[in-house]
Structure 1
């Protein structure tokens, strides 16, 4: 029997509008929009339904193949990554946004007449981009649906018809489990709080749905509940089921199918929309999700309170079959956001930028519901330019299109295509697959015995990267190795798909590779992946732009590579630090390299270091190679030519030759620069141009003008041969009295700094035994200036 649903009330309006213009359908949870609208739209042509989540995509498609949901048996199929169940005659195809974007880049979705973007309120970057591209083309009838979207903005954006349908919810009573009304959602003791609530309420409810932020929490609560019910209830009376993006088909079916057993379903926000979970009468809502944010130029994934819109969605899952209850683990007046911010506003934009270009659109010129952050947009463009994926006038290159064909992060795609031969390309494909799955593939061993076993298993290939490659390639992994079997299957599928696209050998006949030459190819392709250890903070590494901290789960530093000073960092995970703009970036996949490998690849910059006397009148200077602020190599050479000039300046500034000259010139030049800054310069009386002078540069020019070419030549000159003509002689004494460069009191000495823009004088303690701060009457007048005194890290105002 084809049961009636609330959405049925808008069918005639929907069909009438669909032939004329775009439609925004606002419908509450339980209205039937996800199942009815595709079938109605199929009356006017072939339909693509874009579902933001794989679980919803497959479940809805499978449900619509039943006669109860689809009496006319309109043909329905689906497409997700690695899996397609449809053909050219299928009338309704459900697909994830990534699949839909790739089809758009291939043939502009020419085989579809209507595109329905379901659950648009989730505001994923790929659905936002897809809608923007289709809006620009005006090639398809568009339907955007949502239960909680701020729909009027979307209606105006699409110039669409707005249709609204009520939901079919029973009464849901809401209770708040918090210390006070404004208590925000918190992850503290979450496992214990969930177990306590379930134990108090399971015997008065049918099925229970618990919303948790992620797989980690779901795993912990699953184990705790199974322990509890093993002790408290017969095991065959209770089924604890995880529900997230990576569950098995069996777990998904158990979660979505009614059962004689009482079920406790532990879900991420994948269960907020689209999915119908029968029998649920109690919701326990942690009020938490994992959400990406932009912090200091980097996308960070962290625990975050949900929005009010999400809270309402979660509550609605309890009222689908009869009256229900929702328990929220936060206060009634907790200041939640109204809507979840769009991903395009809070993530890096490299992926959407490249996707738009490959769909023949200029990303920066697309019209989105919300304008894009300019800084993040510019950063993404620069990253793609560095990969040679885009031209200066924002046109995708052939190389950029090849990168987009690979269903992975642009950086990994770039590394794969940059490898010099097939065996290295295969290694990079398998590593990229291992690092591109939604969950962690493995857990390195903790015990010394298992660590040694791992070292023997990997042999000379011992590092995080090669361990992942071997885990992906192995037919069977050792029992002592903690590997997520589901994730390994997904990683192998992804690797197989990329090998097929690139016409590489299959996994079963993967080519052997030499780790050293492969790593060097990676270093040459993307030098910024190379990090060196900090000399003091040994857990920290830097590349000159960013700093990372070694994760506890990395093999880097275990056993045989404790002395390793550099590494290629393939994967990082950013966490929020203490400060507003701080991040803690953990290096989670690290491959050790040597400093000599870095030197051989010409990484770092050369600079002249110290000059030393190697013998009587014979000097050598250090030519240092510096990377990320650290000297990674030093070569000594005899001083001559241009290097001699730099060395002579260094010796003068160190007061090792021409004693006293550096101190005198430093004062003269500082006073001249102050003289200029105060506007005292007069062209008719000053002998030099009004230019700020740098002491080292001035000395270098003087040495060149005097024809000094070697260290020995300096012996022919004295300090009196170096005269800086700045402030006119007749004015200098008066200027020094008014603006002294130092102040000497009876018991101590101070160096004086002038900050002209702030009209501030800072007296820096230099030396002396006096403990008391200087008094204002002891110092020069400095009328109109603010005066500060600084000793060590302490700075005070002197009034």
Structure 2
């Protein structure tokens, strides 16, 4: 039975996409469709209704962003004369405005993948992927998975700017195109940088906005790369007469986003690319385009959030926003001669893929079993699989384990979900609330200024502050916004429900979290987030990366001694709760953190972090002892004198033996035998790397099972004898390549470098500066011969 929709198309203004209605209605039951239609043509609101009417089956519409899902569902429901949540609804994370009678449901890609992991796709006859040109990672995955899971469903791929011909070939689909915008949009280039740049961005935006307000009568939409730039430009535009300046980005609350859709009054809307597609903002007659976007790219071993120029396709999308209600103007803040990339690179080619690989496993596949429009890089897939296997989420064959299944069902970042699953029951409420707070789209805490803190105050713990802000649920001393807190509390309640924990409102437990237990858990299960401060400034390291985090009081307050933790110095170690890679100038990447939990070096030691290094080993009363320094990321976090065992013992024994302080006869014989072996192999041209005495000795001690005092005390010189060359071979070697040489006036040791074919004579005894003639030297034909005496090296003979 076909869904019953009251047809109100005749009551609405005609849109360019309406010309496609007969073809969509006749084709959607028979084949996949690719729909190319300009921005503002009505494809996102019209085509879902046509598909539902033509097939008689529910339609799932996948939109890249939550704000688009909400606004489109509201608009379509209004056009159909229905209450939102009945025949037309939407589902985004933690918000479901739909019911059993819903026939058109707008969802984000993450929700669509959750449906794919179960049987949630079964009711739908048509799967629409809107704004596909953005090539989001989850959207690409959903397309690949849907083709395998629902080969009977019809796929409709829509965008204003996409390679329709390529997609039609890939899906064996019909390609439909609608022509023309509602109104023409004139482009004006305002000059400045040759290519889009952040140089003097706020000044150039203000100039463009004032010009747009003077030359047009409607509202102005400004495209900026992020909320930081939006805040700066909003401050610069304060004081405009008769105009309201509003932000629009993904971290705003629903109520704050809805203000941008209010049709009353003239406005300047400062938006990220959330306003580039799908949503319709009322009254826009001018666009000011910075030409910039913040997106992730692979750089320096990280998936980096960098500000880069938009693609030509995105610039055209932005231009189209000015022509929805009247002839419009688009002001571009770059030079007309700039050459932009034609398309935005697919996210699947520039993101870390842990989430993707886990999502693929959740729907029952491996990456190699799905056909992608653009295949993910093999190295990134292998790295993600290795990480998930280390966590126990995938088995050796790459299939999802029971732990991986539970991990995929927790609707937060994979690393946070793992922390939650690994937490002991008594700590799970604290971890759940912390994870919920870290999932906030808006910052919950304000960094305290230097004036608000004293040198004697204990280091502020963002982890505790986040949890307290969440549990108290109101605006407190940290200035946490109420609506952002309300969203985080909903997330926390959902996470708590997954583990049968009471909701925040019904929780009888203590408000104050168990900080020591929480810190120990994070260090144990999230060791890569443990950082120590460099000896100066606000840079912190973990042995692999360097991150910027600077409590105000740590700056300029005296100099610290070597590896100290004095109270006035500020924290010297911390768990970085949130680390983000940001593109810096040129090819540099800077890691920054917003929230951190300070800790002590002792906390790192208790978690088993750090690499021990034995110094000054000695044999004392039958025991090998040494001063053991524990280092982490270049900082010494602990030191003690103790008896050595395991690898430290073997390293100490190797040093004692080679220095002649233990089993004195071993070192000379070992060096002599290994030198002869290396020379023999090199002269044979084997290409094998030379053997180092210490490395061989360490390997030999490990093979002998030396772990403690009861093992090394049984060692004898015969246990550490290097395999000798055949006696005849060795005799010939010593004849042709002697280890010592005497000129009659002085004695020399002989060093051979067979790779470079260089022989160096080192003076040992006798007359210094003794002259060495060609006739006194052995017959070393084809070798360069050098003499080293008192650190000075001279060449006696070239080859």
With normalisation by structure 2, the TM-score equals 0.81
- Tell me, yes or no, if the aligned pair for 1:419 and 1:522 is still in contact at 8 Å: no
> 1:194 is matched with which residue?
205
Q: Residue 552 of structure 1 corresponds to which residue in structure 2?
A: 550
Q: Return the offset for 1:363.
A: 3.0
Aligned ranges for residues 322-401 of structure 1 at < 5 Å? Answer: 322-401=326-405
Structure 2 CA distance for partners of 1:679 and 1:191, relative to 1, 3 Å: same
Distance 1:712 1:92 in 2: 76
Provide the C-alpha distance between the structure 2 equivalents of 1:712 and 1:386, rounded to a whole number of angstroms: 35
**2:17–2:43 Cα contact (<8 Å) kept:** yes
Q: Deviations over 1:465-510 (max 9, x none)?
A: 111111211233334x343444323222221222233321222354
Is the counterpart of residue 85 in structure 1 residue 94 in structure 2?
no
- Distance in 2 (alpha carbons) for counterparts of 1:496 and 1:402: 17
Equivalence for 1:16 = 26
Determine the structure 2 residue equivalent to 1:567: 574
Deviation at 1:343, TM superposition (A): 1.1
Q: How does 1:534-683 map to 2 (within 5 A)?
A: 536=535, 539-544=538-543, 546-552=544-550, 560=567, 562=569, 564-576=571-583, 580=587, 583-604=589-610, 608-612=614-618, 620-622=625-627, 625=630, 627-628=632-633, 632-637=637-642, 647-654=652-659, 666=671, 669-670=674-675, 672-679=677-684
1:61-97 deviations in whole A, cap 9, x for unaligned? 1111224889999921111222222211122111111
Question: Structure 2 vs 1, CA of residues 254 and 34 (structure 1 numbering), >3 Å: closer, same or farther?
Answer: same
Q: Report how far residue 301 of structure 1 moved.
A: 0.8
Contact 1:29 1:167 in 2 (8 A): no
The yes-or-no answer on 1:27 pairing with 2:27 is no
CA contact (8 A) 1:605 1:626 kept: yes
Partner residue, 1:172? 185
1:372-521 equivalences under 5 Å are: 372-422=376-426, 424-449=427-452, 462-479=460-477, 481-510=478-507, 511-512=509-510, 513-521=513-521
Between the aligned partners of 2:50 and 2:715, the Cα distance in structure 1 is 96
1:728 aligns with 2:730: yes
Shift of 1:570: 2.4
Where does residue 772 of structure 1 map in the other structure? Answer: none
The 10-residue stretch of structure 1 (185-194 or 652-661) with the greater mean CA deviation from structure 2 = 652-661
- Taking a change above 3 Å as real, the CA distance of residues 639 and 473 of structure 1, as seen in their structure-2 partners, is closer
SS in 2 for 1:145: strand
| Aligned residue number for residue 172 of structure 2 | 159
1:685 is matched with which residue?
none
**How far has the Cα of 1:785 moved from its partner?**
8.9
Offset at 1:328? 1.0
Give the conservation status (yes or no) of the 8 Å contact 1:675–1:681: no
Is the partner of 2:244 in helix, strand or coil? strand
Between 1:46-55 and 1:618-627, the stretch displaced more is 618-627
| Range 586-595 or range 320-329, more displaced | 586-595
Query: Would the aligned equivalents of 1:463 and 1:556 in 2 still touch at CA under 8 Å?
Result: no
Query: Is residue 679–residue 754 contact of structure 2 (8 Å, CA) maintained in 1?
Result: no
Distance in structure 2 (CA, Å) of the matches to 1:646 and 1:681:
29
Greater shift, 46-55 or 468-477, is seen at: 468-477
- Aligned match of 1:530: 530
CA distance in 2, matches of 1:485, 1:71: 28
Shift of 1:518: 2.1
d(CA) in 1 for partners of 2:754, 2:261: 70
Deviations 1:599-653 (A, max 9, x none): 44444455654313668x9863345555556554445445799987754531343
Cα root mean square deviation, aligned: 4.4
- Distance apart, 1:14 and its partner CA: 0.9
Matches within 5 A, 1:60-99: 60-67=72-79, 75-99=87-111
Change (3 A) 1:611 1:6: same
- Once the 2 structures are TM-superposed, how far is the Cα of residue 240 of structure 1 from its aligned partner? 1.1
Q: Relative to 1, partners in 2 of residues 1:547 and 1:538: Cα closer, same or farther, differing over 3 Å?
A: farther
Residues 641 and 710, structure 1, Cα contact 8 Å, conserved in 2:
no
Residues 663/583 of structure 1: CA separation in 2 closer, same or farther (3 Å cut): farther
CA contact (8 A) 2:189 2:332 kept: yes
1:754–1:762 Cα contact (<8 Å) kept: yes
Residue 115 of structure 2 contacts residue 121 of structure 2 at CA under 8 Å; is this kept in 1? yes
Residues 1:87 and 1:271: Cα distance change in structure 2 (over 3 Å): same
Contact 1:604 1:626 in 2 (8 A): yes
Mapped to 2, the partners of 1:588 and 1:474 lie a distance apart of 21
Cα pair 1:665 1:724 within 8 Å, conserved: no
Gap change, CA 1:54 and 1:692, over 3 Å in 2: same
Distance 1:100 1:643, change over 3 A: closer
Deviation, 1:409, is 0.6
Distance 1:476 1:665, change over 3 A: same
Partner of 2:694: 696
Residues 621 and 288 from structure 1, CA distance in 2 versus in 1: closer, same or farther, beyond 3 angstroms?
same
Range moving further from structure 2, 559-568 or 40-49: 559-568
Matched, 1:263 2:267: yes
Paired residues of 2:287 and 2:322 also in contact (CA < 8 A) = yes
**d(CA) in 2 for partners of 1:354 and 1:505?**
29
Note if contact 1:499-1:505 (Cα within 8 Å) is conserved in structure 2: yes
Asked whether the equivalents of residues 408 and 432 of structure 1 are also in contact (C-alpha less than 8 Å), the reply is: yes
SS in 2 for 1:109: coil
Relative to the length of structure 1, the TM-score reads 0.81
* SS of corresponding position for 1:620: strand
Partner of 1:238: 243
- Residue 307 of structure 1 and its aligned partner are, at CA, apart by 0.3
The 2-side partners of 1:293 and 1:412 are apart by 23
Q: CA deviation at 1:714?
A: 13
CA contact (8 A) 1:121 1:149 kept: yes
2:645 and 2:94 map into 1 onto residues whose CA distance is 64
Aligned-residue offset at 1:281: 2.1
Distance of 1:528 and 1:452 partners within structure 2: 29
Give the distance between the partners of 1:53 and 1:239, measured in 2 at CA. Answer: 25
Structure 1 pair 400/167, CA: closer, same or farther in 2 (3 Å)?
A: farther
Structure 1 residue 57 corresponds to structure 2 residue 63 = no
1:224 has 2:236 as partner: yes
Report the more deviating stretch, 331-340 or 503-512: 503-512
Q: Aligned pairs, how many?
A: 740
Counterpart-to-counterpart distance in 2, 1:629 and 1:764: 39
2 CA distance for matches of 1:419 and 1:432?
Answer: 12
Question: Could you say which residue in structure 1 is the equivalent of 2:282?
Answer: 278
In structure 1, what is the Cα distance between the partners aligned to 2:645 and 2:12? 93
Contact preservation (8 Å) 2:137, 2:348: yes
Contact 2:87 2:103 (8 Å CA) reproduced: yes
**1:566: Cα distance to partner?**
3.5
Instruction: Please give the secondary structure, in 1, of the residue aligned with 2:595.
Output: strand
Q: 2-side partners of 1:374 and 1:666: how far apart?
A: 45
Shift of 1:108: 3.6
Distance 1:753 1:516 in 2: 59
Tell me the CA shift for residue 11 of structure 1.
Answer: 1.2
**SS at structure 2 position matched to 1:467:** helix
Q: Is this contact kept in 2: 1:117–1:127, CA < 8 A?
A: yes
Q: Give 5+ residue unaligned stretches, structure 2.
A: 1-10, 558-565, 764-776, 792-797
SS in 1 for 2:578: strand
SS in 2 for 1:669: helix
Please tell me whether the aligned partners of residues 10 and 163 of structure 1 are also in contact (alpha carbons under 8 angstroms): yes
Q: Is the 8 A contact 1:295 1:583 kept in 2?
A: yes
SS across alignment from 1:173? strand
Q: Is the 8 A contact 1:29 1:169 kept in 2?
A: no
TM superposition shift of 1:46: 1.0
Contact 2:285 2:323 in 1 (8 A): yes
